[in-house]
Amino acid sequence: MPRETFQKELDRLVEDVVGLGREVESCLETMVEALQAQDVEIAKREIGVDSRFKERGTEIDEECMVLQARQAPVARDLRLIYTVQVVTNHLVRSGTLCEHICHAVAETAEADRDPDLAATLSEMARAANGLFREGLDIFEQRDIDRARDLEAADDKVDLLYSEAMNLIVNPAKEGGGSPEWRTRAALMVHYLERIADHGVDIGGRTVFLVTGERMESAMRQYRERRVESDED
């Protein structure tokens, strides 16, 4: 096939991105474990990963720039490089948020906690982690049919977000946890919601990569098709 060298460079680029994604995913799993167990030692394992992820992200960005300069990519090659840059940004940001959560867990280990809120946070962390992994899988396998389900999964995260915020704003008179912990919990809730969004966006960008269609437009068509088939 012509442009073999270029194709190899693109394949390597995708490998690099997926590799970075899997590292972030592993970091997220540790975060979920730390959050569930409120374990300082587990949380501390991931403190410091952020700078490594950022460095990797910069390297991938540079690779993309060189490929654009040297190979003048168009059509699917251009979409791939563009998608790689956007996905890399989502991965690095997710890694940063993960580290923030681990910091919060480590720093509030001794604080009084609301068990309901703690349970909601854990559930939200599992859901956000699941969405991130799903987005990354979709990107790696180009399995855009699965991208259609991402928004529904994200709705669940949004619901947990509202539930958690309600517990934070209206704490029980007894057992509502310390104000410091509730403040940290509010931040963690926000970070988790962002991680879930990054997962959804990674899947959405994959739809663009494969079809050239923006996720929003693909989702709209999907919903309309569903309405039509419901009417049948």
Residue 78, interface with other proteins (CB under 8 A)? Answer: yes
Binding track over 2-41 against other proteins, x by CB under 8 A: xx--x-----------------------------------
Q: Is 69 in the site for other proteins (CB under 8 A)?
A: no
| DSSP notation for 165-199 | HHHHHS--SSS---HHHHHHHHHHHHHHHHHHHHH
Question: Which residue, 78 or 109, has its beta carbon nearer to other proteins?
Answer: 78
- Tokens at 72, concatenated: 């003048």
Considering CB under 8 A, how many residues would be counted as binding other proteins? 15
C-alpha distances in Å from residue 64, one per residue of 77, 117, 198: 11, 42, 20
Among 58, 211, 217, 221, binds other proteins (CB under 8 A): 211
* Stretch in the footprint of other proteins (CB under 8 A) among 33-41, 177-185, 188-196, 207-215: 207-215
C-alpha span between 164 and 182 (Å, rounded): 10
Q: Is 220 in the site for other proteins (CB under 8 A)?
A: no
Interior angle at CA 20, CA 17 and CA 25, nearest 5:
120
Binding site for other proteins (CB under 8 A): 1-3, 6, 72-79, 211-213
